[in-house]
C-alpha cells in the first residue's frame, strides 16, 4: 500500500539497489546507491533521508556503533497448510507456548498465527543473550523445529504443505530512557527496526511501527513543513514508549546465560507465575499487556501480585540479571514512573491547550511546536483504550490504535 501511494504521488521505487553512503551537507543529503543489476553507482539528493533498512542498517550501526544489541531472538518457522481439521481453531493465535523445560541452554517457545485459508504460521524461538561464542544457530533450531513440531500440534510432517520459511535473528535493544538510542543525525532519521524501539519482550517490530505510524508521520510532516531537519529536532521524533522499555527485564528473565546452569523448570515456573496472574485478571488487562498497552498502575499491580504469590521470583531475577542490570532496570522504572506522573498531570489539558493555540504557536515558534507535539504523542501512546484522553493528534485527526500485536 505504501508503495502504491508513493508511486501515485509521483515517487519512484528502485528495486535491487544497495545503499552505499550518505553525505550530509547544510542544505541537502546526497545518497550514493548501487544498481545491483549492472553494478553502476548512482546518486540522488534529498532534504531528508529516512533510514528504514532494518536491524542490519549500516546507518543505524554507525550511529550506535558504541553499543551492539542487548539481546537476540533466534527464530525459525514456516507458513504451513495441511493440518487436519480440529488441530487448531483459526480464530485464535498462540502467543507464547513453552516447549518442555530448559535443554541445551535454551527454553524453546512456540508461537502460532492463523494465516489465509487453512494456513498456519508457526514459529519456534528462544530468548538469547548476545554471545560471540554461542550465536544461536538457526540451522540447529530448524532441526529441532521439524523434530518436535508433531509434539506441539498433531501432524504428519510429510503430509504438510510448506508454503514458505520464516526465520531470522530478531535483535532487542534495552532502552533505559527515551534518548538511549540515537535515531537521528542532521537530515537523517531512522524508523522501524533501524530505530529498534520495539518491545524486547514480544519483539513485534511491525506492530510497533504500525502503532506509531501516525505519531512518526505527523511529526515528520511538521518537521519538513518548517525545515526542522537538524539532529536536535529529528531526534525527538521516535517510537519510544516508556511502558515498553520497562519490559526488557522480563525477556532477560527468560534467557539462559551461556555456560550457566539453571534448574530446568526455572523459566517455566516464571512463565506460569506471570501468565497465571494474567489468566486471573480480566481479559482486558491480559489483552492490553500483550499488546504493549499497559499503564503504570497495571504494571505495578501485576508486579506486586507476582512478588506476593511467589516471593522467590525476586531472587531468581536477581540471580539471572545480576546487580548491574537490576540497577540499570531501576533507572527504567524511575523513568516509567516519572513519565506516568507527567502524563497524568498533562493528559487532562495539554492536548486541548495545543489545539487552541496551534495557529500562533506553530507559525511563530515551529521548533517549540514540534517539541510540544512530540510530548503530546509520548504521553498518549501506549495507554489502554479507555484511558487515551486527548489523543496526540491535533489537527482534524484522531489516533486509531490498530489491533496489531
Ligand atoms: C521470524 C520473524 C517473525 C516476526 N514476527 C513478527 C510478528 O509477529 N509481529 C511483528 O510485529 N513483528 C514481527 N517480526 C519483526 C518484523 O518483521 C520487523 O520488526 C519489521 O519487518 C521491521 O520492518 P522494517 O521496515 O523496519 O525493516 P525490514 O522489514 O527488515 O526491512 C528492511 C529493508 O531494508 C533492506 N536493506 C537492508 N540493508 C540495505 C542496504 N544496505 N541497501 C538497500 N536495502 C537494504 C532490506 O533488504 C529490507 O528490505 C518478526 C521478525 C522475524 C524475523
Each residue's pLDDT, cut to its tens digit, for the chain (405 residues) gives 989 999 999 999 999 999 999 999 999 999 999 999 999 999 999 999 999 999 889 999 999 887 778 889 999 999 999 999 999 999 999 988 998 999 999 999 999 999 998 999 999 999 998 888 998 899 999 999 999 999 999 999 999 999 999 999 988 888 888 788 899 999 999 999 999 888 888 788 898 888 899 999 999 999 999 999 999 999 999 988 888 888 888 888 888 989 888 999 999 998 888 888 888 999 888 888 888 888 899 999 988 998 898 899 888 888 888 888 888 899 999 999 999 999 999 988 999 999 999 999 999 999 999 999 999 999 988 777 665 544 443 333 333 333 333
Total domain count for the chain? Answer: 3
* 275 and 388 housed in the same domain: yes
| 374-390 CB burial, b ≥16 within 10 A, e <16 | bbbbbbbbbbbeeebbb
pLDDT of residue 389: 46
* 3 state DSSP class of 78: strand
Q: How many CB atoms lie within 10 A of CB 274?
A: 21
Position 403 scores a pLDDT of 36
Segments forming the whole domain that contains residue 30: 1-46
Distance CA 234, CA 217 (A): 12
Instruction: Assess whether 213 and 146 both reside in one domain.
Output: no
Q: Does a structural domain hold residue 40?
A: yes
Centre of ligand 1 to C-alpha 193, Å, is 7
Residues with CB under 6 Å of ligand 1 are 18-19, 52-54, 56-58, 75, 123, 166-168, 170, 192-194, 198, 204-207, 209
Q: How many helices (H) and strands (E) does the chain have?
A: 14, 13
Residues 6+ apart with CB under 8 A from 146: 157
Secondary structure of residue 128 in the 3-state scheme: strand
Q: Crossing angle for the helix pair 296-309 and 312-347, nearest 10 degrees?
A: 160
Q: How far apart are CA 75 and CA 55, in angstroms?
A: 15
pLDDT score recorded for residue 216 = 96
Q: Are residues 22 and 75 in the same domain?
A: no
Could you tell me if 154 and 219 lie in one domain?
A: no
For residue 192, the ligand 1 atom closest to its alpha carbon is: 26
Is 52 part of a structural domain of the chain?
no
Q: Whose CA is nearest to atom 5 of ligand 1?
A: 204
Residue identifier of the C-alpha nearest atom 53 of ligand 1:
168
Q: Say how far apart CA 88 and CA 289 lie, in whole Å.
A: 24
Instruction: Please identify which residue in the block is written with the cell numbers 507559525.
Output: 363
In a domain, 179, yes or no: no
The rounded Å distance from CA 205 to ligand 1 centre is: 8
Q: What is the pLDDT of residue 387?
A: 55
Nearest CA, atom 28, ligand 1: 54
Residues 6 or more apart whose CB falls under 8 angstroms from that of 78 comprise 121, 122, 145, 162, 163, 164, 165, 166
Q: Are residues 41 and 128 in the same domain?
A: no
Q: Is residue 399 part of a domain?
A: yes
Whether residue 197 lies inside any domain: the answer is no
Are residue 247 and residue 396 in the same domain, yes or no?
Answer: yes
Given a contact cutoff of 8 angstroms between Cβ atoms, the answer to whether 306 and 274 are in contact is yes
Pairing relation of β-strands 94-98 and 109-114? Answer: antiparallel
- What's the 392 CA to ligand 1 centre distance in angstroms? 27
* Residue 78, pLDDT score: 98
Q: How far is the CA of 204 from the centre of ligand 1 (A)?
A: 10
**Within this chain, do residues 288 and 378 fall inside the same structural domain, yes or no?**
yes
- What distance in angstroms lies between residue 232's CA and the mean position of ligand 1's atoms? 27
From the CA of 168, how far away is ligand 1's center (Å)? Answer: 9
Best mutation site among 72, 205, 244, 292 for ligand 1, i.e. most ligand atoms within 8 A of its Cβ?
Answer: 205
**314 and 400 assigned to the same domain:** yes
- Helix (H, G, I), strand (E, B), or coil: what is residue 290? helix
Residues 12 and 113 reside in one and the same domain:
no
| Within-domain flag for 26 | yes
pLDDT (0 to 100) of residue 201: 81
Is pTM beyond 0.85 here? yes
The DSSP code for 228 is -
305 belongs to a structural domain: yes
Phi, psi of 113 (to 5 degrees): -130, 125
DSSP conformation letters of 134-188:
----HHHHHHHHHHHHHHHS---GGGSEEEEE--EEEEE---SSTTSS--EETTE
Amino acid at each position: 500500500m505504501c508503495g502504491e501511494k508513493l508511486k501515485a504521488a509521483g515517487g519512484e521505487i528502485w528495486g535491487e539497489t544497495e545503499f552505499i553512503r550518505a553525505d550530509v551537507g547544510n542544505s541537502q543529503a546526497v545518497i550514493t546507491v548501487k544498481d545491483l543489476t549492472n553494478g553502476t553507482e548512482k546518486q540522488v539528493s534529498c532534504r531528508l533521508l529516512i533510514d528504514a533498512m532494518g536491524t542490519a542498517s549500516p546507518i543505524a550501526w554507525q550511529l550506535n556503533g558504541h553499543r551492539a544489541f542487548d539481546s537476540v531472538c533466534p527464530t525459525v518457522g514456516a507458513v504451513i497448510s495441511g493440518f487436519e481439521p480440529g488441530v487448531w481453531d483459526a480464530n485464535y493465535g498462540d502467543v507464547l507456548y513453552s516447549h518442555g523445560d530448559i535443554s541445551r541452554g535454551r527454553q524453546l517457545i512456540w508461537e502460532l498465527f492463523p494465516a489465509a485459508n487453512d494456513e498456519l504460521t508457526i514459529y519456534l524461538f528462544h530468548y538469547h543473550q548476545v554471545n560471540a561464542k554461542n550465536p544461536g544457530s538457526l540451522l540447529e533450531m530448524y532441526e529441532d523445529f521439524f523434530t518436535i513440531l508433531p509434539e506441539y500440534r498433531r501432524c504428519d510432517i510429510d503430509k504438510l504443505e510448506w508454503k514458505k520459511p520464516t526465520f531470522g535473528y530478531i535483535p532487542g535493544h534495552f532502552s533505559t530512557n527515551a534518548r538511549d538510542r540515537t535515531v537521528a543525525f542532521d537530515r537523517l532519521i531512522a524508523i522501524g527496526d533501524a530505530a529498534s524501539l520495539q518491545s524486547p519482550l514480544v519483539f513485534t517490530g511491525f506492530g510497533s511501527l504500525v502503532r506509531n505510524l501516525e505519531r512518526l508521520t505527523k511529526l515528520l510532516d511538521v518537521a519538513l513543513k518548517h525545515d526542522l531537519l537538524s539532529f536536535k529536532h529529528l531526534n525527538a521524533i521516535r517510537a519510544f514508549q516508556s511502558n515498553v522499555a520497562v519490559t526488557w527485564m522480563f525477556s532477560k528473565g527468560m534467557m539462559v546465560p551461556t555456560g550457566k546452569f539453571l534448574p530446568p523448570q526455572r523459566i517455566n515456573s516464571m512463565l506460569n507465575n506471570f501468565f497465571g496472574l494474567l489468566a486471573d485478571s480480566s481479559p482486558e488487562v491480559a489483552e492490553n499487556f500483550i499488546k504493549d498497552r499497559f499503564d503504570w498502575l497495571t504494571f505495578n499491580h501485576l508486579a506486586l501480585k507476582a512478588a506476593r504469590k511467589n516471593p522467590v521470583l525476586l531472587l531468581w531475577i536477581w540471580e539471572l540479571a545480576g546487580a548491574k542490570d537490576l540497577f540499570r532496570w531501576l533507572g527504567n522504572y524511575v523513568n516509567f514512573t516519572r513519565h506516568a506522573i507527567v502524563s497524568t498531570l498533562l493528559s487532562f489539558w495539554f492536548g486541548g491547550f495545543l489545539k487552541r493555540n496551534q495557529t500562533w504557536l506553530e507559525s511563530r515558534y515551529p521548533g517549540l511546536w514540534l517539541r510540544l507535539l512530540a510530548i503530546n504523542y509520548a504521553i498518549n501512546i501506549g495507554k489502554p483504550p479507555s484511558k487515551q484522553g486527548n489523543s496526540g493528534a491535533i489537527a482534524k485527526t484522531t489516533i486509531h490504535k490498530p489491533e496489531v500485536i
